[in-house]
Amino acid sequence: MVIDDLADRQHDCDLLLDQNYGSSAERYRGLVAADCTQCHGPEYALLKPVYAERRAQLPARDGQARRVLLYFGGGADAANLTRLAVQAFQAPELAPVELDIVVGASYDRQSSLEELAALRGNTSIHRRLPDLVDLMVKADLAIGAGGATTWERCCMGLPTIVISIAENQRPSCEALSSNGMIDYLGHFDQVTSELIRHHVLSLQKNAESLRDLSERGLKLVDGDGVLKVTKAMIYPKST
26-42 residue pLDDT tens: 999 999 999 999 999 99
Looking at the 3D structure of the chain, how many domains does it have?
Answer: 2
Residue 19 belongs to domain with CATH number: 3.40.50.11190
Q: Which residues pair with 145 in a beta bridge?
A: 163
- Reference 45, options 14, 20, 27; nearest CA is 20
Flag whether pLDDT at 239 surpasses 60.
no
The residue count for the chain: 239
Global pTM exceeds 0.85: yes
Q: Phi first, then psi: what are they for 30, rounded to 5°? A: 85, -5
Are 161 and 67 in a shared domain?
yes
pLDDT tens per residue across span 70-127: 999 988 999 999 999 999 999 999 999 999 999 998 999 999 999 999 999 999 999 9
Count the helices and strands in the chain (H runs, E runs): 9, 9
Q: Which residues contact 69 (CB under 8 A, 6 or more apart)?
A: 100, 102, 132, 135, 136, 138, 139, 141, 142, 143, 144, 158
Strands 37-40 and 183-187: unpaired
Residue 216 belongs to domain with CATH number: 3.40.50.2000
Are 144 and 205 in a shared domain?
yes
Are 6 and 111 in a shared domain?
no
Are 142 and 36 in a shared domain?
no
On whether the CB atoms of residues 47 and 152 are closer than 8 A, the answer is yes
Are 101 and 29 in a shared domain?
no
In a domain, 135, yes or no: yes
CA distances (Å), origin 198, targets 89, 91, 144, 183, 212? 10, 11, 16, 12, 19
Distance from the Cα of residue 62 to its chain's centroid: 20
End-to-end C-alpha distance for the chain, whole angstroms: 14
DSSP-derived 3-state class of residue 228 = helix
- Reference 46, options 114, 148, 120; nearest CA is 148
Are 115 and 18 in a shared domain?
no
Are 81 and 119 in a shared domain?
yes
Are 59 and 159 in a shared domain?
yes
Are 216 and 227 in a shared domain?
no
pLDDT for the residue 105 = 87
pLDDT for the residue 206 = 96
pLDDT for the residue 228 = 96
pLDDT tens per residue across span 197-221: 999 999 999 999 999 999 999 999 9
**Residue 236 pLDDT level (bands cut at 50, 70, 90):** confident
Q: Which residues pair with 124 in a beta bridge?
A: 100
pLDDT tens per residue across span 139-195: 999 999 999 999 999 999 999 999 999 998 999 999 999 999 999 999 999 999 999
Strands 183-187 and 160-164: parallel
Are 227 and 208 in a shared domain?
no
**Residue 57 pLDDT level (bands cut at 50, 70, 90):** very high
Task: Domain of residue 76: give its range.
Answer: 51-220
